[in-house]
Amino acid sequence: MSSSKPTIVITSIFAPTKAVEKFAALTDYQLVVAGDKKSPEQWAADNVVYLSVQGQEAMGMKMSAKLPYNHYGRKMMGYLHAMQQGAQIIIDTDDDNIPYDGWEFPAMSGAFLTSTPDKGFVNIYKTFTEQHIWPRGLPLDLITSKDHVLQEDQLETQPVEIGVWQGLADGDPDVDAIYRLVDNTECFFNDHAPVVLAEGTLCPFNSQNTAFRKELFPLLYLPAYVTFRFTDILRGLVAQPIMWLYGYRLGFTKATVIQERNPHDYVKDFESEIPCYLHPNRVIAAVKSNLDASLSVSENLLRAYQALEQEQIVTSQEVELLQLWLADVAALTASK
């Protein structure tokens, strides 16, 4: 049965976790969990649509045959299911992000505190905490820079259209392996009002507590042929210049989940994050120089990845998978 409820999408290789159970109990939302070959064979939970490997293959999606297994990108099959069911908002999260009571996102349209434009990369975490901490994907030369922190007098309430909301995570938030190897202090963010980034001001965002509006569903694409720790960061870097073309903004909210992080090897994370450290500015430059405001979101997304292929940041396999994704999205959203 189709539903226009906001749809929460998770991929998991574990039995239902505390986070899954809490999200499943939210009756105003539909929870979809995309399994993988490592997932328990008898995975089941109340109030959850579970997409087994066999179920994903039966969806008839073009991208299914090329999308790798045992990969975070299997979450995209959950996105496609949500589109198929008529979702107007798709929410990304993970099976170790436990929602607080009252978990929700602000409206996609409204008056919010908004930054000054054209500041380049900013460390949004420093707006929500005094702790020395930075989001995964922030260029390393900025982690001690005070010039790249939004001051309160640089925020002004303005009417804006939000394309993507990123909710922060308490406890073990999304930081890079360098932070975890040299400090790893837990962080509990301040109860600050939402902050929206104006055009030309950007910050990495992840796939852990993140809401996309329907008009930008193509930008949900998770690169499947880059390293695991780069995939959602690259997605967010590519998305922001495209969003600006159509008047949409990226917003951040206070922490609405607490992350009890699944086990990680920090040195392996560091190795996987090397593209995050090397490429952010190159990605933004390549994407911005190849966009055309007269084209659609999907057309500009393809142009962006073709430019990244020329920069040797992604491979031809990535562009091929993206084209299959875009064909699936077009087929599913055309009549919705």
Q: Over the stretch 49-106, which tens digit does the pLDDT of each residue have?
A: 999 999 999 999 999 989 999 999 999 999 999 999 999 999 999 999 999 999 999 9
Q: Any idea how long the chain is? A: 336
Structural domain including 86 reads: 7-333
Output b/e per residue, 223-232; b: 16+ Cβ within 10 A: bbbbbebbbb
- Domains held by the chain: number: 1
Within 8 A by CB and 6+ apart from 187, the residues are 125, 129, 131, 133, 170, 171, 173, 175
Give pLDDT tens digits for 247-296. 999 999 999 999 987 777 999 999 999 999 999 999 999 999 999 999 99
Average pLDDT over the chain, rounded to an integer: 95
Residue 220 lies in a domain: yes
pLDDT digits (tens, 9 = 90+) for 192-235: 999 999 999 999 999 999 999 999 999 999 999 999 999 999 99
Q: What pLDDT does residue 60 have?
A: 95
Q: Is position 114 within any domain? A: yes
Residues 6+ positions from 121 with CB-CB distance below 8 Å: 138, 139, 142, 148, 202, 203, 280, 281
Distance separating alpha carbons of residues 282 and 292, to the nearest angstrom: 18
Residue 234 domain flag: yes
In a domain, 127, yes or no: yes
- Residue 1 covered by a domain: no
Per the domain annotation, does 280 fall within a domain? yes
Instruction: Give the number of other Cβ atoms within 10 Å of residue 25's Cβ.
Output: 12
Query: What whole-number distance in Å separates Cα of residue 155 and Cα of residue 198?
Result: 10
Is this model's pTM higher than 0.75 or not?
yes
Whether residue 53 lies inside any domain: the answer is yes
For residue 2, being part of any structural domain is answered with no
